[in-house]
Amino acid sequence: MKKLELITCRKVYSVVILGLLLLAYCFACYHTGLIDTRLVIPQPLARRKNSTDGPPVEDAIRTHVFQIGDTARSLYSDTLGKLPTNPQYHRRWDVNCSAIFAGSERVITSVSKQLLQEQQEQSLMPSDSKVVTWTNDCTLYKKQRGYPTTPNSDEEAGFPLAYILVVHTGAAQVERLLRAIYQPQNVYCLHPDSKSPREFHQAIAGLANCFDNVFIASKLEDVVYAGVTLLLTNINCMKDLTGRSASGHPWRYVMNLCGQDFPLRTNLEIVGQLKAHNGQNEIQSSVPDKRKSRRTEFKFILRNKSIVRTKSRNGPAPHQLKLYSGSAYYAVTRDFVRYILSDPVAIDFLDWTRNTHMPEETYWATLQRAPGVPGGNYRADPQIRPFSVRYVLWYTRASPHKCRGKYIRRVCVFTIGDIHYVQQQPHLFANKFYYDYDPVSLQCLEEALEFRVRHSEESDK
Ligand SMILES: *[C@@H]1O[C@H](CO)[C@@H](O)[C@H](O)[C@H]1NC(C)=O
Ligand SMILES: *[C@@H]1O[C@H](CO)[C@@H](O)[C@H](O)[C@H]1NC(C)=O
Ligand SMILES: *[C@@H]1O[C@H](CO)[C@@H](O)[C@H](O)[C@H]1NC(C)=O
């Protein structure tokens, strides 16, 4: 009897699992466009339909991205964009990225094997001290690496962006990220961790030194996980971006990234997305659950280089702010930055969050919902999970794709087995990539971006 039950049970399970798999497959096909094996950039999951503080942006975003999707359709049918390469900087792997984006198991397996083998012999990433030498001759370096010297389009020239890059390791990967997002009309604040090794600082300084629109934050923090310092790195850069370091640069939106992020979209595509926001910020924000509420309920302090909980409770947030929870990563307007740096509510709240756990996940999300905040969503639905800036594959998140790389603190580090899926996400950036773990993923994403830049230039003419 028991056995029979077990068998029936198994059967039921199998049917359910099969059904789920089928659903997941359909979902994946629909969203990845794998049905016709060509790249279709999916419509972003913008859900900011009824924000009463701003116009609905979903339709605008959808229209824009649909156009990009059209121009990118031929991606798989041809070779990708070959970047100007010079082995003196990054090694160019002889791989077929089109096949990797098409999810070809044969190619993915053989390249993975090669990567694994070579990793055992040497680091796949150039050392920080090597990167220091790259920028000895800025003119040569920028030319050989193919840094753009003029905006790719009028649309981009008229909508300059600012970036905050909080980095601590792997100067070669930082350089690759910078090259991927670099445009002469944008401005970049680099924040190397104050405790990073000397060569790393030298390499980052070398990079900043080569560009008028790239600078190092005037005040550097020693970033401690879960402490207020990560938030402060952003505030420091915001001050610089509106101050003398950026010398009146007219940037419209600022985004923050870390050294393990990589763009999935070209500058033109990013500009299109941000324009469609019509002056609204892109900040995730939802009502904190019980676990997240504990981050602000008690006081947390720095003890022996880590953040620990104390027994004393935090008072209520100042100015009757209602607490929300979200992400450390955002795209926000210049007016929002002005508000953060000058409004007493924002300043008092920053002070209050100092003694909370991971304040960066409370600070932006809460202010986004406060009344009168530029680009904010006061009176919006309790959950704002708009199309967001950055794609992260969490260990716990139900996803039609399973991480093929490795998990670091429950976050997937992508490999070439993942990027065909990652590339289909509607986000502007993805996290995490490790250069020395899988340099080919970065190379293929670069080629895809280069291809689309070139394609959009051609269609401009
Ligand atoms: C959202 O806005 C649309 C159009 O303005 C309206 O028809 C709809 O009822 C609104 N939905 C909610 C949930 O408020
Ligand atoms: C690369 O892969 C694509 C897709 O699998 C294929 O169509 C193309 O022929 C390949 N190119 C080379 C040079 O092997
Ligand atoms: C501080 O932390 C280090 C490493 O985690 C440990 O070895 C050391 O004993 C700690 N010191 C104190 C005073 O707790």
- pLDDT tens digits along 189-222: 999 999 999 999 999 999 999 999 999 999 999 9
Per residue in 299-320, pLDDT (tens digit) is 999 998 899 999 999 999 999 9
Instruction: State mean pLDDT over 61-73.
Output: 39
Determine the atom of ligand 2 nearest the C-alpha atom of 76: 4
Whether 37 is in the pocket of ligand 1, judged by its Cβ within 6 Å, is no
Whether 50 is in the pocket of ligand 1, judged by its Cβ within 6 Å, is yes
Among 24-33, 372-381, 406-415, name the one with the lowest average pLDDT: 24-33
49 within a domain of the structure (yes/no): no
Are residue 266 and residue 125 in the same domain, yes or no? yes
Whether 312 is in the pocket of ligand 1, judged by its Cβ within 6 Å, is no
* CA nearest ligand 2 atom 12, residue: 96
Residue tagged active-site, from 175, 269, 282, 361: 361
Confidence band, pLDDT 50/70/90 cuts, at residue 81: low
CA separation for the pair 284, 323 (Å, rounded): 13
Closest by CA to 289, choosing from 390, 417, 181, 382, is 382
Are residue 402 and residue 295 in the same domain, yes or no? no
Are residue 20 and residue 72 in the same domain, yes or no? no
**Structure-token pair, residue 432:** 């995490």
Give the distance (Å) from ligand 2 centre to CA of residue 96: 6
Are residue 254 and residue 391 in the same domain, yes or no? yes
Whether the Cβ atoms of residue 44 and residue 426 lie closer than 8 Å to each other: yes
Are residue 160 and residue 246 in the same domain, yes or no? yes
Determine the atom of ligand 2 nearest the C-alpha atom of 96: 1
Determine the atom of ligand 1 nearest the C-alpha atom of 50: 1
Q: pLDDT value at position 39?
A: 35
The answer on pLDDT for 78 being more than 50 is: no
Which ligand is nearest the CA of 56, by number?
A: 1
CA separation for the pair 92, 20 (Å, rounded): 40
Q: pLDDT value at position 62?
A: 39
**Does the annotation mark 446 as catalytic?**
no
Q: What is the CA radius of gyration of the chain?
A: 23
Confidence band, pLDDT 50/70/90 cuts, at residue 455: confident
Domain extent, residue 406, equals 63-282+386-460
Whether 96 is in the pocket of ligand 2, judged by its Cβ within 6 Å, is yes
Are residue 346 and residue 451 in the same domain, yes or no? no
Are residue 240 and residue 349 in the same domain, yes or no? no
Are residue 324 and residue 405 in the same domain, yes or no? no
* CA nearest ligand 1 atom 10, residue: 50
Residue 84: half-sphere exposure toward Cβ, Cα within 13 Å: 12
Among 126-130, 153-157, 379-383, 400-404, name the one with the lowest average pLDDT: 379-383
Are residue 141 and residue 230 in the same domain, yes or no? yes
Give the distance (Å) from ligand 2 centre to CA of residue 160: 37
Query: Looking at the 3D structure of the chain, how many domains does it have?
Result: 3
**Measured CA distances, 33 to 30, 101, 314 (Å):** 5, 12, 49
The answer on pLDDT for 17 being more than 90 is: no
Per residue in 317-332, pLDDT (tens digit) is 999 999 999 999 999 9
Are residue 411 and residue 274 in the same domain, yes or no? yes
Are residue 401 and residue 264 in the same domain, yes or no? yes
Percentage of the residues of the chain whose pLDDT score is greater than 90:
67
Confidence band, pLDDT 50/70/90 cuts, at residue 247: confident
Determine the atom of ligand 2 nearest the C-alpha atom of 104: 5
* CA nearest ligand 1 atom 14, residue: 50
195 within a domain of the structure (yes/no): yes
The distance of Cα 223 from the centroid of its chain, to the nearest Å, equals: 19
37 within a domain of the structure (yes/no): no
